[in-house]
Amino acid sequence: MARCRVAILGNGPAMTAPVPVAAKAVTEHTRLRRVLTHPLAHLVYAMIVVGLLQAFIVKLYYVPSGSMEPTLMPGDRIIVNRIALSWDTPSTGDIVVFDAGDRWSETDVELSIWQHLRYAFGAMTGIGPAAPNTLVKRVIATEGQTLACCDAEGRMLVDGNPLDEPYVDVDFPWEPGLLDCSTSPGSLRCFESFTVPDGAFVALGDNRTASSDSLSNCRLTGQVDASCLRVGELDRIIGFQSTLAQ
Protein backbone atom coordinates (compact mmCIF):
# COMPACT_ATOMS: atom_id res chain seq x y z
CA MET A 1 0.00 0.00 0.00
CA ALA A 2 1.27 3.48 -0.88
CA ARG A 3 1.99 5.60 2.17
CA CYS A 4 2.91 9.16 3.05
CA ARG A 5 4.70 10.30 6.17
CA VAL A 6 3.85 12.91 8.80
CA ALA A 7 6.06 14.38 11.49
CA ILE A 8 5.52 13.36 15.13
CA LEU A 9 6.74 16.00 17.54
CA GLY A 10 7.78 15.20 21.09
CA ASN A 11 10.56 15.92 23.56
CA GLY A 12 13.07 14.19 21.38
CA PRO A 13 13.91 14.51 17.73
CA ALA A 14 11.07 14.75 15.24
CA MET A 15 9.99 11.41 13.89
CA THR A 16 7.72 10.49 11.02
CA ALA A 17 4.98 7.90 10.86
CA PRO A 18 3.41 6.48 7.76
CA VAL A 19 -0.19 7.56 6.93
CA PRO A 20 -2.04 5.59 4.25
CA VAL A 21 -2.78 7.58 1.05
CA ALA A 22 -6.22 5.96 1.07
CA ALA A 23 -7.06 7.88 4.25
CA LYS A 24 -6.04 11.13 2.58
CA ALA A 25 -8.26 10.31 -0.42
CA VAL A 26 -11.20 9.64 1.90
CA THR A 27 -10.69 13.06 3.50
CA GLU A 28 -10.67 14.79 0.11
CA HIS A 29 -13.78 12.87 -0.96
CA THR A 30 -15.59 13.94 2.19
CA ARG A 31 -14.68 17.58 1.58
CA LEU A 32 -15.94 17.37 -2.01
CA ARG A 33 -19.17 15.76 -0.88
CA ARG A 34 -19.76 18.57 1.60
CA VAL A 35 -19.32 21.15 -1.16
CA LEU A 36 -21.65 19.35 -3.57
CA THR A 37 -24.36 18.88 -0.94
CA HIS A 38 -24.20 22.45 0.37
CA PRO A 39 -27.53 24.39 0.10
CA LEU A 40 -25.88 26.95 -2.19
CA ALA A 41 -24.86 24.13 -4.53
CA HIS A 42 -28.48 22.96 -4.64
CA LEU A 43 -29.50 26.50 -5.64
CA VAL A 44 -26.98 26.44 -8.49
CA TYR A 45 -28.29 23.06 -9.66
CA ALA A 46 -31.85 24.40 -9.66
CA MET A 47 -30.84 27.46 -11.69
CA ILE A 48 -29.08 25.27 -14.25
CA VAL A 49 -32.13 23.02 -14.63
CA VAL A 50 -34.50 25.98 -14.96
CA GLY A 51 -32.18 27.63 -17.46
CA LEU A 52 -32.02 24.50 -19.61
CA LEU A 53 -35.79 24.05 -19.48
CA GLN A 54 -36.44 27.66 -20.50
CA ALA A 55 -33.73 27.66 -23.14
CA PHE A 56 -34.87 24.52 -24.98
CA ILE A 57 -38.31 23.28 -23.84
CA VAL A 58 -40.70 25.81 -22.29
CA LYS A 59 -40.45 29.38 -21.09
CA LEU A 60 -42.65 31.46 -18.83
CA TYR A 61 -43.67 34.95 -19.93
CA TYR A 62 -45.63 37.79 -18.36
CA VAL A 63 -48.23 39.65 -20.48
CA PRO A 64 -47.58 43.38 -19.86
CA SER A 65 -50.36 45.04 -21.88
CA GLY A 66 -53.92 44.68 -23.15
CA SER A 67 -53.04 44.33 -26.84
CA MET A 68 -54.15 40.68 -26.87
CA GLU A 69 -57.40 41.11 -24.93
CA PRO A 70 -59.65 39.25 -24.40
CA THR A 71 -57.51 36.19 -25.26
CA LEU A 72 -54.69 37.26 -22.95
CA MET A 73 -55.22 39.77 -20.18
CA PRO A 74 -52.62 42.12 -18.64
CA GLY A 75 -50.79 40.25 -15.89
CA ASP A 76 -51.42 36.81 -17.37
CA ARG A 77 -48.47 34.44 -17.33
CA ILE A 78 -48.17 32.22 -20.37
CA ILE A 79 -46.15 29.08 -20.96
CA VAL A 80 -44.37 29.15 -24.30
CA ASN A 81 -43.63 25.90 -26.11
CA ARG A 82 -40.12 26.15 -27.59
CA ILE A 83 -39.55 22.62 -28.85
CA ALA A 84 -42.55 22.78 -31.21
CA LEU A 85 -40.46 25.00 -33.50
CA SER A 86 -38.30 21.94 -34.20
CA TRP A 87 -41.03 20.31 -36.31
CA ASP A 88 -43.64 23.02 -36.90
CA THR A 89 -43.74 26.47 -38.49
CA PRO A 90 -46.04 29.33 -37.50
CA SER A 91 -49.24 29.69 -39.51
CA THR A 92 -52.29 31.95 -39.56
CA GLY A 93 -54.00 32.06 -36.17
CA ASP A 94 -51.05 30.92 -34.05
CA ILE A 95 -50.07 32.98 -31.00
CA VAL A 96 -46.31 33.41 -30.79
CA VAL A 97 -43.77 35.12 -28.57
CA PHE A 98 -40.91 36.71 -30.48
CA ASP A 99 -38.04 39.14 -30.13
CA ALA A 100 -39.00 42.17 -32.18
CA GLY A 101 -36.53 44.51 -33.82
CA ASP A 102 -35.84 48.15 -33.03
CA ARG A 103 -38.64 49.32 -35.36
CA TRP A 104 -41.19 47.92 -32.92
CA SER A 105 -39.98 50.14 -30.09
CA GLU A 106 -42.33 52.99 -29.25
CA THR A 107 -39.54 55.11 -27.81
CA ASP A 108 -35.89 55.53 -28.69
CA VAL A 109 -34.32 54.96 -25.29
CA GLU A 110 -30.68 53.98 -24.82
CA LEU A 111 -30.30 50.91 -22.64
CA SER A 112 -28.25 51.06 -19.47
CA ILE A 113 -25.36 48.68 -18.83
CA TRP A 114 -27.55 46.77 -16.35
CA GLN A 115 -30.27 46.32 -18.97
CA HIS A 116 -27.69 45.01 -21.44
CA LEU A 117 -26.46 42.56 -18.81
CA ARG A 118 -30.04 41.51 -18.03
CA TYR A 119 -30.80 40.71 -21.66
CA ALA A 120 -27.45 38.99 -22.13
CA PHE A 121 -28.22 36.81 -19.10
CA GLY A 122 -31.62 35.97 -20.57
CA ALA A 123 -30.10 35.06 -23.93
CA MET A 124 -27.48 32.79 -22.35
CA THR A 125 -29.60 31.08 -19.71
CA GLY A 126 -33.15 31.26 -21.03
CA ILE A 127 -34.22 32.96 -17.77
CA GLY A 128 -36.02 36.25 -18.36
CA PRO A 129 -36.22 38.35 -21.55
CA ALA A 130 -33.42 38.18 -24.09
CA ALA A 131 -34.28 41.46 -25.83
CA PRO A 132 -36.00 44.75 -24.93
CA ASN A 133 -38.89 44.18 -27.35
CA THR A 134 -40.22 40.71 -26.56
CA LEU A 135 -43.82 40.61 -27.78
CA VAL A 136 -46.76 38.23 -27.86
CA LYS A 137 -49.01 38.56 -30.94
CA ARG A 138 -51.16 36.51 -33.28
CA VAL A 139 -49.75 35.42 -36.65
CA ILE A 140 -51.98 36.59 -39.51
CA ALA A 141 -49.83 35.76 -42.54
CA THR A 142 -46.35 34.42 -43.20
CA GLU A 143 -43.72 34.74 -45.92
CA GLY A 144 -45.06 34.62 -49.48
CA GLN A 145 -48.71 35.04 -48.50
CA THR A 146 -50.77 38.03 -49.66
CA LEU A 147 -52.77 40.02 -47.15
CA ALA A 148 -55.46 42.65 -47.71
CA CYS A 149 -58.54 44.13 -46.06
CA CYS A 150 -61.39 44.04 -46.46
CA ASP A 151 -64.15 41.95 -48.06
CA ALA A 152 -67.79 43.04 -48.02
CA GLU A 153 -68.12 41.89 -44.40
CA GLY A 154 -65.02 43.71 -43.18
CA ARG A 155 -62.84 40.60 -42.94
CA MET A 156 -59.16 40.37 -43.85
CA LEU A 157 -58.16 38.31 -46.86
CA VAL A 158 -55.23 35.89 -46.71
CA ASP A 159 -54.33 34.71 -50.23
CA GLY A 160 -57.77 35.94 -51.27
CA ASN A 161 -59.62 33.91 -48.64
CA PRO A 162 -61.64 35.68 -45.91
CA LEU A 163 -60.28 35.18 -42.41
CA ASP A 164 -62.79 34.51 -39.65
CA GLU A 165 -61.48 35.87 -36.35
CA PRO A 166 -63.79 34.98 -33.45
CA TYR A 167 -60.99 35.96 -31.04
CA VAL A 168 -61.23 39.66 -32.03
CA ASP A 169 -63.54 41.40 -29.57
CA VAL A 170 -62.84 45.04 -30.41
CA ASP A 171 -62.04 46.02 -34.01
CA PHE A 172 -62.09 49.27 -35.94
CA PRO A 173 -65.62 50.46 -36.88
CA TRP A 174 -67.14 49.02 -40.05
CA GLU A 175 -70.50 49.89 -41.59
CA PRO A 176 -71.13 48.77 -45.19
CA GLY A 177 -71.85 51.79 -47.37
CA LEU A 178 -71.23 54.24 -44.54
CA LEU A 179 -67.78 53.42 -43.25
CA ASP A 180 -65.97 50.82 -45.34
CA CYS A 181 -63.15 50.67 -47.88
CA SER A 182 -65.15 52.59 -50.53
CA THR A 183 -66.19 55.56 -48.39
CA SER A 184 -64.32 58.75 -47.56
CA PRO A 185 -63.09 58.66 -44.91
CA GLY A 186 -62.70 54.93 -44.97
CA SER A 187 -62.60 52.40 -42.17
CA LEU A 188 -59.27 52.04 -40.42
CA ARG A 189 -59.56 48.30 -41.05
CA CYS A 190 -58.79 48.84 -44.73
CA PHE A 191 -55.39 48.41 -46.33
CA GLU A 192 -54.16 47.52 -49.79
CA SER A 193 -52.98 44.05 -50.75
CA PHE A 194 -49.31 43.26 -50.14
CA THR A 195 -47.07 40.20 -50.02
CA VAL A 196 -45.31 39.25 -46.78
CA PRO A 197 -41.51 39.38 -47.32
CA ASP A 198 -39.33 36.27 -47.18
CA GLY A 199 -38.40 35.14 -43.69
CA ALA A 200 -41.11 37.30 -42.12
CA PHE A 201 -44.62 37.21 -40.70
CA VAL A 202 -47.38 39.73 -40.00
CA ALA A 203 -48.38 39.88 -36.33
CA LEU A 204 -51.46 41.63 -34.97
CA GLY A 205 -52.98 41.98 -31.52
CA ASP A 206 -56.46 40.60 -30.88
CA ASN A 207 -57.41 43.98 -29.42
CA ARG A 208 -57.00 45.74 -32.78
CA THR A 209 -57.76 49.27 -31.60
CA ALA A 210 -55.18 49.12 -28.79
CA SER A 211 -52.34 47.12 -30.33
CA SER A 212 -48.98 48.33 -31.56
CA ASP A 213 -48.40 45.71 -34.24
CA SER A 214 -47.34 45.08 -37.82
CA LEU A 215 -50.00 47.34 -39.37
CA SER A 216 -50.66 49.99 -36.73
CA ASN A 217 -48.45 52.56 -38.47
CA CYS A 218 -50.17 51.93 -41.83
CA ARG A 219 -53.76 52.36 -40.65
CA LEU A 220 -54.18 56.05 -41.44
CA THR A 221 -53.24 55.80 -45.12
CA GLY A 222 -54.23 52.21 -45.85
CA GLN A 223 -51.14 51.88 -48.00
CA VAL A 224 -48.68 49.26 -46.83
CA ASP A 225 -45.00 49.76 -47.67
CA ALA A 226 -41.60 49.51 -46.05
CA SER A 227 -41.98 52.91 -44.39
CA CYS A 228 -44.82 51.76 -42.12
CA LEU A 229 -44.91 47.94 -42.17
CA ARG A 230 -43.30 46.22 -39.19
CA VAL A 231 -42.93 42.48 -39.68
CA GLY A 232 -41.66 39.85 -37.30
CA GLU A 233 -38.76 37.65 -38.30
CA LEU A 234 -39.39 33.90 -38.37
CA ASP A 235 -35.95 33.11 -36.98
CA ARG A 236 -36.61 35.35 -33.95
CA ILE A 237 -39.70 33.50 -32.79
CA ILE A 238 -39.14 32.15 -29.28
CA GLY A 239 -42.05 29.74 -29.26
CA PHE A 240 -45.78 29.13 -29.47
CA GLN A 241 -48.12 30.18 -26.70
CA SER A 242 -49.05 26.85 -25.16
CA THR A 243 -51.24 27.60 -22.16
CA LEU A 244 -51.91 30.00 -19.33
CA ALA A 245 -49.89 29.46 -16.18
CA GLN A 246 -51.90 29.36 -12.97
Catalytic residues: 67, 137
Are 82 and 238 in contact by the 8 Å Cβ rule? The answer is yes
Cα(4)–Cα(86) distance, integer angstroms: 57
Number of neighbouring beta carbons within 10 Å of residue 135:
23
β partners of residue 137? 96
Phi, psi of 84 (to 5 degrees): -60, -25
Question: E-assigned strands of 101-233?
Answer: 134-142, 146-149, 156-158, 161-162, 191-195, 200-204, 232-233
**Alpha-carbon gap, residue 92 to 198, rounded angstroms:** 16
